[in-house]
Structure formats: structure tokens, C-alpha cells
């Protein structure tokens, strides 16, 4: 990887700081594992300062003309587009995202930014009653919440920033955002581009920070709502703090999504999608990926053979190499956790491993590389089928009819996404109703289009990102009612 790591700052409004009260984090090169940067960390002190800055400009930003907010976000989208190659390189430096996936991530972020730019001047309330109809005049008014706290995890930080920050700004809120310290480079450039786009000083603060900083954001009384992307363990801690403050939140918490593959689908296309979304996309480190492939018995052997052939074509290596399809996982702890899951499944006889199942060898042996892994005949109740692997692996199970497929798919505490591969329209509609998921995606339908609400049920969380529902998460609707001045006690 030829690109050097950029300097990372704490962005408190427009002020850039090279150090923080939380100390620093040694960021490791995703391939060599050598220290490539010391990342400054915010603590509670910087959170307090950022909130004070946001509070000072909150009313002015609320009263900013919607067209001005729209133009700022459209300029931001332009800047993201202009820096596409650089942002893709930052994603590779952050955590080993391949250049192809990184560039697609930038395109997705641009789309989300433009989408919410478009909402700025289209937010309206409703006329609820008139003097003639109900004897009083009532209407609703959408208003920003105020200051919102946004905490995002390490996989795909740029997309998370576009999904959350842009919607919050479009609604007229100020934002305090804490990205993960282990993927700081893309958020650093995003913060710089927000300033260039014209986001006013104090409206947006972005800084990596300690757990103490995260807790300070969640518990601060002037931070009126929390939007979090991460795992259920951290989410429960945040929810406990929110409960004490009676503070609303949005939780996007991952999944163990099933894809139901029927004989009437385009089998080759379904197999190619399965491999890309579970092995190639972020090396399997994605929340809504179809990591459980449930395949009808009539095509099971054929489908598995196709998966095996396609996976064998996916090159593993340096994410800066444009021919590489699978980069490293995020760190050594993740690699150990993944191989531990593989080892337990093998020891328990819970599945067969047709490909992979261990760390990559040869020149990649010292890095955090996992062999692309194909797991078949998996026990639906075993850990390997129930817990997120979050690595380049696909788990395949057999079913014989729709009822069995739905039972296996819904046998999960998660409920973020479900997938159907079928050209039978009636079947698609039948199953879409029965699958326990926040979204159902058919024959290659994309999970995170900006115009469609995205979010889960169960331990996958609650709340929505995308569509009007996504901006409504950052608004409250005030009711105004005007009476005719009639006396309480008529004469």
C-alpha cells in the first residue's frame, strides 16, 4: 500500500485539534500490522466543548433557510464525488476495504447525501382541522430535535456518516459525532469536506474518542437523541443510559440474514450475488449481508458447486491492489474470534467446510487474512448459524418447502434483512409477509438505497435510516391549535 496515513484531528466545529484529553490510539497498518498513525482521542472534556459550541449556534441553524441547507449538502455531495479515489484509499487504510468496494461505498454515500439534500426544502406539516370543520384551527409543524449524538462503528464509516449525519443536518439539527478510532481516516476527510461545503462552525463536530467520550455524548442533557450503529452489547449500555435520561434513540445493530434460494431463480446470478455479498463485500464484515444461504433441495448440490467455483476466483490480499476481492478483517482479535468459531463448528460436527476455515497462509500468514470460507450442511441451531461471523464466509443450509425455509430463516434473534431468490411473484409476496426482518430484498434488490427505509427488528435494533422515515427520526412534529376564544363558562 503506497498511500500514507493522513493526520487525524478532533474536529470541534471548525477547530482542528491534534490531541485530546482521551490520549491516543495506535492505528495499525491493515496489511503489515505496523503502527502507521497515532490517533488523538476525545474525552468528556471535548464532548462538553462540542455541545457548548452546538448550543451557541443551534437556533441560528434551525432558522437557516432550507434552501441554504440543501445547497450545503449538495456541495458536500459534489466534494465527496471529487474525492472518490482518495476516500476509497482512506477506506483501505482504515480497515482493509478493497478499492472496488471502497469506491462503491463512496458512490453510495454521495447518493445518500444528495437524497437528504433534496428533503431540506420539502419538510411540511399537516392541516388537521379548520374553524368550520371542528371549531378550531390545528396544524402540525416539523421541527429539528436540537443537538443529536451519532456514534458509528468501524465497518463502512463513510456510508454511516452519510446515512446519519446528512439526514440530521437536513432536518436542521446540530450533530456531535464519534466515529470509531480504529477507522479514523475516511471520517477525517469527511469532516474536512463538510467544512469546505459550508457547514457552519459549531453545527457539526466529529472526533474519535474513548468510551468515556461516548458515554458523555449519550448522557449529556443537551444531546436530545442518539443514533447508534454497532453491536448489541454496546447498544444495551447506551439504552440503559438513554432510559435514565428518557432519551430516544435509533439502533442499527447487525444481523444474521437469510437468503432463500428457489429452483425458479437465475441460479448462477444468485450464486454470484451470494459470494460477493458474503465474501467480497467488506470481507464479510457487514450487518445486512445474506450470510445464511437457504437452498431448496432440488438445486442444493448445483448451487453449492457454483458457490465453490466462484469463491475460488476471489483473490485475497492487499486491498490497494485493484485485482484483490478480499482484504483483511479489521484486527487480530477479529481474526482469532472468526477462526475460533470455525474450530468449534468443526469440533462439534455442526457443518462441513468445503473451502477455507482458517487463516490465509503464505505471504499473508502474518496479517489478519481469513481464507474465503464455504460452510455447508450447517446445523441451523449451532453458533455458526446463529451468531454473526463477520468474516469472509457463507453458511449454506438445505430446505424442502416454503414452511421449512421460513422456519429456518426466522430461527434467529436478529431481524435486519431477508432475501428471496425467486421469479415466482406470488411466492415472493407470500414469503415477504412471513419473514421476520426489517427489509426483504428480492433478486438482487439493494439493501441501503437512500430512498428506502432501512432498519431491523429483534436484536437488530429499531428505528429507520433512509426515506422520509429516516429524516423523521431527526424531527418532532409540534401541534398548534387555535381556538375561537370562546369562554369556559358560557353566559
What is the distance between the alpha carbons of residues 158 and 163, in angstroms, rounded to a whole number? Answer: 9
Return the HEC string of 188-224: HHHHHHHHHHCCCCCCEEECCECHHHHHHHHHCCCEE
Residue 371 known to be catalytic: no
Active-site residue, selected from the candidate residues 46, 181, 287, 388: 287
Beta-strand pair 461-462/249-252: antiparallel
46 tagged catalytic: no
Dist CA 195 CA 97 (whole Å): 26
Sequence-ordered list of residues with C-beta below 8 angstroms from that of 29, at least 6 positions apart, any chain: 1, 35, 36, 93
Rounded distance between C-alpha atoms, residue 19 and residue 8, angstroms? 9
Q: Active-site residue among 103, 181, 188, 252?
A: 252
- Rounded to 5 degrees, φ, ψ at 142 are -75, 130
Tell me the C-alpha distance between 409 and 30, whole Å. 34
How deeply is 100 buried, as exposed, middle or buried, from its count of CB atoms within 10 A (0-12, 13-18, 19+)?
middle
Q: Which of 267, 221, 261 is nearest to 242 (CA)?
A: 221
Cell 457552519 found at = 200
Positions annotated as catalytic residues are 252, 287
Amino acid at each position: 500500500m503506497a498511500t500514507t496515513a493522513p493526520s487525524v484531528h478532533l474536529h470541534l466545529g471548525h477547530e482542528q485539534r491534534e490531541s485530546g484529553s482521551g490520549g491516543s490510539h495506535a492505528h495499525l497498518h491493515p496489511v503489515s500490522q505496523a503502527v502507521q498513525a497515532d490517533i488523538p482521542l476525545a474525552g468528556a472534556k471535548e464532548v462538553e466543548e462540542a455541545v457548548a459550541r452546538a448550543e451557541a449556534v443551534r437556533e441560528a441553524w434551525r432558522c437557516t433557510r432550507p434552501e441554504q441547507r440543501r445547497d450545503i449538502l449538495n456541495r458536500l455531495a459534489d466534494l465527496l464525488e471529487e474525492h472518490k479515489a482518495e476516500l476509497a484509499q482512506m477506506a483501505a487504510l482504515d480497515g482493509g476495504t478493497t478499492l472496488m468496494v471502497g469506491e462503491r461505498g463512496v458512490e453510495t454515500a454521495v447518493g445518500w447525501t444528495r437524497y437528504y439534500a433534496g428533503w431540506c426544502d420539502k419538510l411540511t406539516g399537516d392541516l388537521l382541522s379548520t374553524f368550520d370543520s371542528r371549531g378550531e384551527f390545528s396544524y402540525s409543524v416539523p421541527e429539528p430535535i436540537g443537538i443529536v449524538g451519532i456514534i458509528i462503528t468501524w465497518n463502512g464509516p463513510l456510508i454511516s456518516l452519510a446515512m446519519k449525519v446528512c439526514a440530521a443536518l437536513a432536518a436542521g439539527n446540530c450533530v456531535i459525532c464519534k466515529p470509531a478510532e480504529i477507522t479514523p481516516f475516511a471520517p477525517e476527510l469527511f469532516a474536512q469536506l463538510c467544512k469546505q461545503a459550508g457547514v457552519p462552525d459549531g453545527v457539526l463536530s466529529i472526533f474519535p474518542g474513548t468510551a468515556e467520550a461516548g458515554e458523555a455524548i449519550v448522557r449529556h442533557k443537551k444531546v436530545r437523541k442518539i443514533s447508534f450503529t454497532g453491536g448489541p452489547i454496546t447498544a444495551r449500555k447506551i439504552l440503559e443510559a438513554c432510559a435514565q435520561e428518557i432519551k430516544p434513540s435509533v439502533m442499527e445493530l447487525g444481523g444474521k440474514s437469510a437468503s432463500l434460494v428457489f429452483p425458479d431463480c437465475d441460479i448462477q446470478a444468485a450464486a454470484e450475488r451470494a459470494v460477493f455479498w458474503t465474501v467480497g463485500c467488506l470481507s464479510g464484515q457487514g450487518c445486512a449481508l445474506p450470510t445464511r444461504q437457504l437452498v431448496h433441495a432440488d438445486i442444493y448440490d448445483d448451487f453449492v458447486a457454483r458457490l465453490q467455483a466462484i469463491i475460488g476466483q476471489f483473490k485475497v490480499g492487499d486491498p490497494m491492489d485493484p485485482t484483490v476481492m478480499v482484504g483483511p478483517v479489521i484486527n487480530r482479535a477479529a481474526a482469532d474470534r472468526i477462526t475460533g468459531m470455525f474450530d468449534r463448528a468443526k469440533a462439534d460436527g455442526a457443518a462441513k467446510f468445503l473451502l477455507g476455515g482458517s487463516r490465509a497462509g503464505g505471504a499473508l500468514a502474518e496479517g489478519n487474512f481469513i481464507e474465503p470460507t464455504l460452510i455447508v450442511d450447517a446445523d441451523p441451531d449451532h453458533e455458526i448459524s446463529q451468531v454473526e461471523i463477520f468474516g469472509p464466509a457463507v453458511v449454506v443450509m438445505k430446505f424442502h418447502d416454503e414452511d421449512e425455509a421460513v422456519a429456518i430463516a426466522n430461527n434467529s434473534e436478529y431481524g435486519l434483512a431477508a432475501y428471496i431468490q425467486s421469479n415466482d411473484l406470488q411466492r415472493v409476496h407470500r414469503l415477504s409477509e412471513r419473514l421476520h426482518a426489517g427489509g426483504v430484498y428480492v433478486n438482487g434488490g439493494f439493501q441501503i438505497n437512500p430512498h428506502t427505509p432501512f432498519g431491523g427488528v429483534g436484536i437488530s435494533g429499531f428505528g429507520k435510516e433512509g426515506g422520509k422515515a429516516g429524516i423523521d427520526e431527526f424531527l418532532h412534529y409540534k401541534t398548534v391549535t387555535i381556538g375561537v376564544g370562546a369562554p369556559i363558562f358560557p353566559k
